[in-house]
């Protein structure tokens, strides 16, 4: 039966191509997409040929110059190609039948499990011969992004400390910096979230822990949803960097209808323009990496790289599905398959600092004793991490002794506490609660980065900017130990071990040593 369906879809694609494309333009034979993408379509209802007025796909270009042949080629076939000077990507748009004919693919409408209707092709478009000098790769024909709305593990049944601080400064050895006045002054931290917050929660948190008022600037309107994610991110960043400016950007519009990754890129460009050199924190995701191609992420990667060049540092939560980001949290009674293993797509970008999660042990004063990888048997929750399906190994990871993922980008890069049983306190719904998840780990690093930026600037250095190359250089041979290696625990992909691993990356930070190492590198003019 499955083979019959496949033959029928190919027949539809061929018929569409014959009806629309000129005889002289023969599209390459399409490839049927397998893996999580095929599972997404199989779990949805096929509604027949796509009926949208216009659909789109992304073209990754070989160089950031005008794709003249692409523009001419699409025009001849009743399509358009949108391109901006300087971009190394373009958007191809047109009626579903025109896209189907140009690339020899079927384009169908589907209804997903949650009632969402979207267009998709079961085939991967191939770059036509006339375009191979300009176009490196094409993205998916897919009008839906199965985004990850992080819902932090929040509970009130975990004993909370009586002390009137969150203990976070003590945990990662940033307390001395704080006592010396390094509290994020002059820095901006931008939180990207799908949900909003209630100001009374932030007021109560600040009062409870003796912090200055927290009144974030909201960009894009306040989202109506309240999952606790935005609340937790803002409060934890405030605990670590109380004098930094906080901004919440409503990312919800990026997952409404199609073109998500172009929308994410535009959102990043706007944040870079409005808050240059800010620290970015992401505890949300835009689909597993096996659902898409690298071309789909070309707009996001370009926007992120530009922001980093302006001094921005970006942190993304690795995910809470123990390395099974493509499983989506469904059918946990079944053993994981290779198709279930995957990364959050945006977190896997080489330019993004991806943050894994740990379980923390401290003494009675909240000082660090040890950490292990955060996981919840039987791996229904736990720190994400693994090998990118999309991106090659960046130069700063080439020296890692990792037996998996030869030549591919490895994640996460670093880690911080994520276990909800560690009783990191927030205020949500006017209740003092414990929170957790790697969606806690990323804002912890963001808050610490704001403190480090202030220290660097006031001591003759520069903002962190693109962080990953420095992190790996410091781990390889800096004079001060900047990372607490984690060698216990694991996820569905790997086991924690001394040095780098696919569970907790380089480990959690010793902030005082880390920032001094960074300053030393900057003074040697090796960075910045």
DSSP string for residues in 263-325? HHHHHHHHHHHHSTT-EEEE--B--BGGGS-GGGGHHHHHHHHHHHHTT-EEEEE--SBTTBT
Query: Domain total for the chain?
Result: 2
What are 267's two structure tokens?
Answer: 């959102």
CB-hemisphere CA count at 13 Å for 436? 25
The pTM of this model reads 0.91
- Tell me, yes or no, whether 178 lies in a domain: yes
- Tell me, yes or no, whether 144 lies in a domain: no
Let me know whether 13 and 100 are in one domain: yes
| CA 126 – CA 103 distance, rounded (Å) | 7
8 Å CB contact between 149 and 284: yes
**Biggest CA-to-CA distance, the chain:** 77
- Tell me, yes or no, whether 147 lies in a domain: no
SS3 category, 37: helix
The CATH number for 407's domain is 3.40.50.200
CA–CA distance from 6 to each of 38, 51, 114, 118, 407 (Å)?
Answer: 11, 21, 25, 20, 33
Q: Name beta bridge partners: 56.
A: 93
Helix spans in 368-420 (H)? none
Measuring CA to CA, which residue among 308, 318, 317 is closest to residue 269? 308
Q: What is the pLDDT along the chain (528 residues), one digit of tens a residue?
A: 434 434 443 333 434 443 444 434 567 888 999 999 999 999 999 999 999 999 999 999 999 999 999 999 999 999 999 999 999 999 999 999 999 999 999 999 999 988 999 999 999 999 999 999 999 999 999 999 988 765 566 655 555 554 444 457 788 999 999 999 999 999 999 999 999 999 999 999 999 889 999 999 999 999 999 999 999 999 999 999 999 999 999 999 999 989 999 999 999 999 999 999 999 999 998 989 999 999 999 999 999 999 999 999 999 999 888 888 888 545 545 667 888 899 999 999 999 999 999 998 888 777 788 899 998 866 568 899 999 999 999 999 999 988 888 899 999 999 999 998 887 889 999 998 888 899 999 999 999 999 999 999 999 999 999 999 999 999 998 999 999 989 999 888 899 999 999 999 999 999 999 999 999 999 987 655
Measuring CA to CA, which residue among 406, 319, 320 is closest to residue 354? 319
Let me know whether 172 and 300 are in one domain: yes
- Tell me, yes or no, whether 409 lies in a domain: yes
Pairing of strands 108-111, 217-219: unpaired
Instruction: Mention every residue, 6+ apart, whose C-beta is less than 8 A from residue 491.
Output: 322, 323, 373, 375, 379, 382, 383, 384, 385, 386, 502, 503
Q: What is the CA radius of gyration of the chain?
A: 23
Let me know whether 284 and 180 are in one domain: yes
- Tell me, yes or no, whether 416 lies in a domain: yes
Stretch (H or E) spanning 17: helix 2-20
As to burial, measured by CB atoms within 10 angstroms (0-12 exposed, 13-18 middle, 19+ buried), residue 97 is middle
SS3 category, 235: helix
Measuring CA to CA, which residue among 132, 40, 111 is closest to residue 340? 40
Stretch (H or E) spanning 218: strand 217-219
What are 5's two structure tokens?
Answer: 């369906």
Residue positions counted in the chain: 528
- Tell me, yes or no, whether 257 lies in a domain: yes
Domain with 448 in it: 153-324+334-521
% helix, strand, coil for the chain, step of 5? 30, 25, 45
What are 71's two structure tokens?
Answer: 């523009």
Measuring CA to CA, which residue among 264, 249, 241, 286 is closest to residue 446? 241
Cis peptide before 413 (omega within 30 of 0): no
For the four alpha carbons of 449, 494, 328 and 136, in that order, the dihedral sign comes to positive
Let me know whether 195 and 107 are in one domain: no
Stretch (H or E) spanning 40: helix 35-42
Residue 155 confidence (pLDDT) = 57
Let me know whether 111 and 157 are in one domain: no
- Tell me, yes or no, whether 146 lies in a domain: no
Let me know whether 69 and 163 are in one domain: no
| CA 42 – CA 492 distance, rounded (Å) | 25
8 Å CB contact between 275 and 160: no
Assign residue 285 a region: left if phi > 0, alpha if psi is -120 to 50, beta otherwise? beta
| CA 370 – CA 363 distance, rounded (Å) | 10
Let me know whether 82 and 182 are in one domain: no
Let me know whether 121 and 186 are in one domain: no
Q: Which of 97, 114, 138 is the last residue of a domain?
A: 138
Measuring CA to CA, which residue among 425, 370, 361, 448 is closest to residue 169? 448
| CA 193 – CA 115 distance, rounded (Å) | 23
Let me know whether 237 and 111 are in one domain: no
Q: Which of 104, 138, 172 is the last residue of a domain?
A: 138
| CA 291 – CA 140 distance, rounded (Å) | 8
Q: Which of 138, 163, 183 is the last residue of a domain?
A: 138
Measuring CA to CA, which residue among 427, 429, 423, 395 is closest to residue 409? 395
Stretch (H or E) spanning 211: none
Let me know whether 185 and 121 are in one domain: no
Let me know whether 160 and 271 are in one domain: yes
Q: What is the 3-state secondary structure (H, E, C) of 155-209?
A: ECCCCCCCCCCCCHHHHCCCHHHHHCCCCCCCCEEEEEECCCCCHHHHHHHHHHC
Let me know whether 440 and 340 are in one domain: yes
Instruction: Mention every residue, 6+ apart, whose C-beta is less than 8 A from residue 74.
Output: 80, 81, 92, 94, 102
- Tell me, yes or no, whether 343 lies in a domain: yes
């Amino acid at each position: 039966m499955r083979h019959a369906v496949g033959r029928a879809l190919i027949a539809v694609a061929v018929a569409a191509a014959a009806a629309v494309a000129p005889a002289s333009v023969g599209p390459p034979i399409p490839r049927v997409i397998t893996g999580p993408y095929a599972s997404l379509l199989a779990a949805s209802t096929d509604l027949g040929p796509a009926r949208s007025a216009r659909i789109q796909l992304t073209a990754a270009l070989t160089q950031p110059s005008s794709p003249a042949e692409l523009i001419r080629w699409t025009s001849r076939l009743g399509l358009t190609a949108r391109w901006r000077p300087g971009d190394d990507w373009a958007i191809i748009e047109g009626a579903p039948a025109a896209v189907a004919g140009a690339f020899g693919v079927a384009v169908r409408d589907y209804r997903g499990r949650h009632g969402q209707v979207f267009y998709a092709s079961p085939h991967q478009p191939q770059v036509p011969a006339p375009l191979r000098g300009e176009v490196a790769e094409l993205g998916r024909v897919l009008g839906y992004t199965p985004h990850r709305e992080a819902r932090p593990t929040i509970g009130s049944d975990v004993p909370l400390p009586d002390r009137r601080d969150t203990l976070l400064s003590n945990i990662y050895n940033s307390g001395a910096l704080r006592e010396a006045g390094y509290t994020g002054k002059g820095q901006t931290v931008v939180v990207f979230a799908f949900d909003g917050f209630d100001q009374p929660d932030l007021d109560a948190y600040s009062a409870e822990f003796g912090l200055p008022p927290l009144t974030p600037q909201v960009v894009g309107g306040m989202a109506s949803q309240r999952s606790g994610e935005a609340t937790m991110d803002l409060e934890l960043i405030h605990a670590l960097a109380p004098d930094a400016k906080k901004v919440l950007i409503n990312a919800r519009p990026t997952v409404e209808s199609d073109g998500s990754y172009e929308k994410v890129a535009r959102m990043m460009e706007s944040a870079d323009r409005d808050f240059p050199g800010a620290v970015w924190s992401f505890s949300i995701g835009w689909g597993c990496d096996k659902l898409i191609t690298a071309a789909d992420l070309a707009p996001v990667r370009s926007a992120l790289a530009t922001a980093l060049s302006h001094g921005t540092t970006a942190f993304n939560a690795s995910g809470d599905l123990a390395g099974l980001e493509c499983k989506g949290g469904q059918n946990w009674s079944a053993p994981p398959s290779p198709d279930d293993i995957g990364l959050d797509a945006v977190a896997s970008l080489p330019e993004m600092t991806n943050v894994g999660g740990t379980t923390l042990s401290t003494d009675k004063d909240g000082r660090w004793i040890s950490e292990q990888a955060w996981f919840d048997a039987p791996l229904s929750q736990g720190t994400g991490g693994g090998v990118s399906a999309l991106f090659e190994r960046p130069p700063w990871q080439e020296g890692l002794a990792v037996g998996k993922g030869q030549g591919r980008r490895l994640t996460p890069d670093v880690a911080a506490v994520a276990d909800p049983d560690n009783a990191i306190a927030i205020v949500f719904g006017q209740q003092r609660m414990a929170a957790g998840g790697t969606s806690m780990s990323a804002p912890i690093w963001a808050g610490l980065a704001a403190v480090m930026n202030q220290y660097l600037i006031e001591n003759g250095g520069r903002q962190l900017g693109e962080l990953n190359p420095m992190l790996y250089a410091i781990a390889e041979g800096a004079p001060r130990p900047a990372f607490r290696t984690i060698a216990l625990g694991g996820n569905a992909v790997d086991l924690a071990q001394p040095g780098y691993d696919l569970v907790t990356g380089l480990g959690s930070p010793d902030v005082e040593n880390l920032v001094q190492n960074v300053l030393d590198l900057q003074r040697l003019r090796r960075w910045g």
